[in-house]
Amino acid sequence: MSEACSSGPGGAIRRNPAAFGAADWLALAASPTFALMAVLTTVLGGESMSMPCSASPASPLSGMAMMYLLMSAFHLAPWLRLIRGVR
């Protein structure tokens, strides 16, 4: 076992926060970044340019804001692992 990991009570392995690498920080940055993009797309009206091109009425489940929300949800796993304390 490396120095970056230590076994705590109950055998759970916890990582030293100082030992986080670039990939760990990138994984943690994905979800908040996509959530921010969803908010900005909604607030700034990023969908207005694509609306005239659409033949069907706008659905709340379509568009870039919904895609960013789904991407944010799919990238929550590193945050859940960090909160839970398991690598």
Would you say the pTM of this structure is higher than 0.85?
no
- Looking at residue 23, its pLDDT comes to 82
Residue 76 has pLDDT above 70, yes or no: yes
- In angstroms, the CA 83 to CA 65 distance is 26
Give the tens place of pLDDT for each residue, 24-56: 888 899 999 999 998 888 888 765 555 555 555
Give the tens place of pLDDT for each residue, 10-21: 545 556 666 668
